[in-house]
Amino acid sequence: MNLALVHRRFTEHGGTERFLVGLARFLHGRGHAVHVYCDEIRPDLKDEPGLTFHRIRVMRLGMTVKLLSLWWSSGRAAKGGHDLVMGFGRTRGHTLWRAGGGAHAAYLQRCRPWWRLDPTAWIERALDRAAALSAARVISPSAMAAQDLHEHYGLPLDRVRVVPNGVDTERFRPDPQLRAQLRAAWGVGEGPVLGFLGTGFARKGLAQAAAVAEGLGLPLVVIGHDSQLPRWRRRLPNVHFLGPSNAPERLLPGLDVLILPTQYEPYGNVCVEAMACGVVPVTTPQNGATEVFPVEGLVGEGVAGLMAAARRALDGGEPLRLACRERALSLPRERAFAEIERLMLELLTPPDHRPNLLGDPR
């Protein structure tokens, strides 16, 4: 197939971006011609073998202009003579669209209840809706996100394919030696350690995570960045703030339980990455990644609910940690990429000549 992948950035910073780079490499390895339409390319990826890059122009004259110029210029891919165009983000002209962020309208409703006062939010919502409704098929990372697309945009569920993101189980894996080194460096002793990983501490629920740790009398290690980091440090003096990291796989193995009290997460990749490291995730019902958790009982709302879930996670001990690792091993990234490749073939094959390649995602 001659394929076009469209997104603003081609880099490995950010969940969508890492997924895009991995998918591009996979499709090239499968023998397809892969064209990437983007505005920004990380320098060391410009010579990525087998990929052809096309520049789309995004004007940097404020957020509104940036959004509209990306939407307009992304239509260039549809004129490139490709067999299929796949969009990521608020783009147009695609046959297949990946809703990695779920429905932006759901995010606005849950995380920014005042969004109607922001003109840019209206534009973001409109472009997100247009991107979803204009695609022949939409890929959603979770059934929760698929339902959001249906409820907020009216997208028929039979046009949505649920494909969990998967995880690099070689990169994210248990490491007993590293675990001991990290705990010594953090000065947290041999007892259970809770962790929190994310950017944007308020939306991700750091205050609740800290309250859970305090209620359990356990240390909390925070990995990530927030524009108000100094304020958070003053507010939570007993929390270990490590700052942002480009190598979370070198930090997650030191934890016992990851707590992510998020307000909205279509598919919390960090939860599955933690599972791959043998760390038990605890989160809220607003996280689509709960659909791939190995057991029930790891989900809670409010400090009391999250604390009860964290206790269950700790009580599960080594058997639960092993179950998390085993579940992650069943979700390799290559499985997600292969599902997308088969969906592409399905879209390009007339119904009367279509082999039984896909079926429902398992």
> Is residue 354 scored above 90 in pLDDT?
no
Mean pLDDT of 72-100: 93
Q: Assign 138 a pLDDT band (cuts: 50, 70, 90).
A: very high
Q: Look at residue 189 in the predicted model and tell me its pLDDT.
A: 85
> Is residue 260 scored above 80 in pLDDT?
yes
Q: Look at residue 358 in the predicted model and tell me its pLDDT.
A: 39
Mean pLDDT of 150-163: 97
Looking at every residue in the chain, the average pLDDT score rounds to: 92
Strand order in the sheet with 160-162: 51-55, 33-38, 2-6, 84-88, 96-98, 137-140, 160-162
Mean pLDDT of 279-288: 98
Q: Please name every residue paired with 265 in a beta bridge, in sequence order, or none if there are none.
A: 287
Specify whether the backbone of 58 is left (phi greater than 0), alpha (psi in -120 to 50) or beta.
Answer: beta
CATH 3.40.50.2000 positions along the chain are 2-166+332-353, 176-329
Cα distance between residue 84 and residue 347, in whole Å? 9
Cα distance between residue 309 and residue 272, in whole Å? 17
Tokens of 215: 């209620």
Q: Does domain 176-329 have CATH number 3.40.50.2000?
A: yes
C-alpha 148 chain-centroid distance: 16
Q: Look at residue 46 in the predicted model and tell me its pLDDT.
A: 84
> Is residue 356 scored above 80 in pLDDT?
no
Q: Look at residue 71 in the predicted model and tell me its pLDDT.
A: 87
Mean pLDDT of 192-206: 95
Q: Look at residue 352 in the predicted model and tell me its pLDDT.
A: 56
> Is residue 359 scored above 70 in pLDDT?
no
Q: Looking at per-residue confidence, does 63 or 201 come out higher? A: 201
> Is residue 254 scored above 80 in pLDDT?
yes
pTM of the model: 0.90
Q: Is 76 helix (H, G, I), strand (E, B) or coil?
A: helix
Q: Which residue do the tokens 């001990």 mark? A: 317
Q: Look at residue 351 in the predicted model and tell me its pLDDT.
A: 63
Q: Look at residue 353 in the predicted model and tell me its pLDDT.
A: 52
Mean pLDDT of 262-271: 95
Mean pLDDT of 24-30: 96
> Is residue 11 scored above 90 in pLDDT?
no
Q: Look at residue 362 in the predicted model and tell me its pLDDT.
A: 34
Q: Among the CATH numbers 3.40.50.300, 3.40.50.720, 3.40.50.2000, 3.40.50.1980, which is that of 2-166+332-353?
A: 3.40.50.2000
